[in-house]
Structure 1
Amino acid sequence: MKKPSISFGGLDLLASAVLVLRSDGYIAYANPAAENLLENSNKVLATHRLNELFLNADELDVVFQQAVEHQFADKRQDLTLERMGREPLQVHMVVTALDNPDLPVLMELRENVQQLKLDREERLIDQSQANKELIRNLAHEIKNPLGGIRGAAQLLELELPERHVKELREYTQVIIKEADRLQTLVDRLLAPHRSLHIVGDVNIHEVCERVRSLIVAEFPSGLKIRRDYDLSIPEFRGDKEQLIQAVLNIAHNAAQVLSSHIKSGDAEIVLRTRIARNVTLAKVRYRLALDLHIIDNGPGIPPDIQDRIFYPLVSGRDGGSGLGLTLAQTFVQQHMGLIECESRPGCTDFRILIPLP
């Protein structure tokens, strides 16, 4: 079929994805934003019907036919478009019926950023709850036999024959020391569930300054910690020590992965505070929220663990326990907040959101 000779030049400038459809359902035109969203060129898209692009295209077919039959002038709705081997698209769709028999339908697709954010937050919260249950159960299962192992090693040490005490005591001490090391790990896993939530007035900049002083004391040269504070942020009710620990865990991780930058003298961590407005956390809408960023210029988080960094015992650093971020997320969630992360080489940004009064 010969394509109508019509110019779509004006649509090329739009930031939202636009498709113009022929009466047979084939794509006559896709603007650059649509090419980017659908990950195909205009030339390739023109060989497909709209319903061939998605696995769940029945709803699109219905809307397309309604537009062809001029049952509406325009129609808007939110959709999740499933794609083979790729992430589904969360979009807000606007379908316009055109007064052109050859090109009867114009479809605009806008990525539904808010829905994506809500889905991501819901996954983080569900993940964190599952982590807490797993940690609690696992820690208790480990804790009981550990005491027995340590006690048995101590009793065995007392029964060692005198002529072999020196060489055999080395082995019993290994058992005792390793049991103590595991006990310390278990105590850290259980710490957020044991410690009392001591609530008082919290000034977030006092928290940041405390963290800054601790990091500077450990890394006195080669690391710059830049403050970027909004001093208008009000105090809020919270557990100051828990928040210090949460921010310190993130900042300390950042300082450790900056080791090569510290040696060359260009390592930087930014502590930035802002107020976020109209924030939704755990499906609850808040008028104001603390928006705290801990940003470093390090190598970034390895892509294969970016979705799992808040899981217990997951670490992107040799020798890391994988507990720092898990505990930080737990402490922030106890303040009805959430930690998010975006990372690429040269910039890792941990964002802490906590509701404000």
Structure 2
Amino acid sequence: MIKPPQNATSEILDNLSSAVIVLDQALNVQWLNAVGEALLQLSARQAIGESLLSVAPGLAVLNAAIAHAQDQGASYAEREIRVALSGERTVTLDCAVTPLPGGRLLLELEHIDRHLRISRENRMIAQNAAIRELVRGLAHEIKNPLGGLRGAAQLLESELGREELQEYTRIIINEADRLRALVDGLLGPESRLEKQPTNVHEILERVRHLAVAEAPEGVVIRRDYDPSLPPLPAAGDQLIQALLNIVRNALQALDGEGEILLRTRSQRRFTIGNRQHRLVLRIDIVDNGPGIPLALQDRIFYPMVTGRPEGTGIGLPIAQNLVDRHGGLIECNSEPGHTLFTVWLPLEETDE
């Protein structure tokens, strides 16, 4: 069998989607491919001859896998390992360690954050669709008796001559109206979106002014806008409502003191659900509050889920519904001192 030339092997390895690193017996780097250079953010020339942990201290989490492969003399794999790399980056990797002749080791590292994100988004989109259908069914069952209840209260009020008794019927009518408005809010607008080319920064400035008017003195709202962004096809009023709901959620989380950041960026070739877009808008709403409890993080976009006793639990579901109608998605990552809501919106026209 004819072996391919060495440069041909390197070319093949450089075109793999996984990072490939070869270590000697002392766990010094002997070789790495182009994807490995991108993952570690340094060149092969800088890495070769250096110990693995000196070029990437975060890969110490692989020590047990490396020891297992060396002891057993066989390949060993671990899935979804969180690794802290240079520049405060944390990535999720699938890792395989394979012993080679001469005591060397082959590391294969596959960056799976994008796959996990797409899988998470697909679950979220499916959950949102199921929730909307459930709410629509419940809304019909709730609104019909509410209409009857309100009508009966109005008739009763007209029959009651005493003002103090009519006060009770007005409470019934007001509460019926409140519940109807709550259900209508969960359903969202029924009309088709009328999208127009929209300056997203005008939208955000409107949201910021409203939030500043509501914010206590101890809360600062900062901006970090990308002025090069193209117009966004959007229904401006609905987008204002969606973003305002998220900002109000951040204001309530800060409890009178802290900072909120509004940031815009663009990203090329980005997938939302199963659809890849040439260019998308990213809106980040960041606060430095206490964070969302871990038990709530997977359910914050469900109706009636809230971490506050006085909360209604409909602001974020309404925001997600409005963004979904624009072909976008809202994601959330939270830990104490840093909560990030990211709104992804296509910058090209999509069907509603």
TM-score (norm 2): 0.73
The answer for unaligned runs of 5 or more in structure 2 is 1-24, 29-50, 82-90
Q: Distance in 2 between matches of 1:82 and 1:200?
A: 42
Per-residue Cα deviation, 1:144-180 (whole angstroms, up to 9, x for no partner): 11111222233344455x6xx5665454444333222
Give the C-alpha shift of residue 221 in structure 1.
2.7
Equivalent residue number for residue 212 of structure 1: 208
Aligned partner (choices 206, 223, 242) of residue 238 of structure 2 = 242
Give the C-alpha shift of residue 198 in structure 1.
1.6
Aligned partner (choices 85, 97, 100) of residue 98 of structure 1 = 100
Residue identity (%): 48
1:272 equivalenced with 2:313 (yes/no): no
Q: Distance in 2 between matches of 1:274 and 1:41?
A: 38
How do residues 110-121 of structure 1 correspond to structure 2 at under 5 angstroms? Answer: 110-121=110-121
1:189 equivalenced with 2:186 (yes/no): yes
Equivalent residue number for residue 260 of structure 1: 256
Q: Distance in 2 between matches of 1:80 and 1:119?
A: 19
Q: Distance in 2 between matches of 1:121 and 1:281?
A: 7
Count of residue correspondences = 294
Cα 1:319–1:97 change in 2 (3 A) is: same
Q: Distance in 2 between matches of 1:81 and 1:269?
A: 35
Q: CA RMSD in A?
A: 3.3
Per-residue Cα deviation, 1:297-353 (whole angstroms, up to 9, x for no partner): 111111110111111111122211111111111111111111111111111111111
Give the C-alpha shift of residue 182 in structure 1.
1.1
Equivalent residue number for residue 17 of structure 2: none
Equivalent residue number for residue 58 of structure 1: none
Q: Distance in 1 between matches of 2:98 and 2:294?
A: 40
Aligned partner (choices 32, 35, 39) of residue 60 of structure 2 = 32
Q: SS at the partner of 1:349?
A: strand
1:232 equivalenced with 2:273 (yes/no): no
Per-residue Cα deviation, 1:52-81 (whole angstroms, up to 9, x for no partner): xxxxxxxxx8xx49xxxxxxxxxxxxx995
The answer for unaligned runs of 5 or more in structure 1 is 1-5, 18-30, 51-60, 66-78, 84-88, 262-266
Q: Distance in 2 between matches of 1:219 and 1:99?
A: 65
Cα 1:153–1:270 change in 2 (3 A) is: same
Q: Distance in 1 between matches of 2:329 and 2:132?
A: 15
Is the 1:305–1:316 Cα contact (8 Å) retained in structure 2? yes
Is the 1:15–1:33 Cα contact (8 Å) retained in structure 2? no
Cα 1:205–1:176 change in 2 (3 A) is: same
Per-residue Cα deviation, 1:230-272 (whole angstroms, up to 9, x for no partner): 10001021111111111111011111222231xxxxx211111
TM-score (norm 1): 0.72
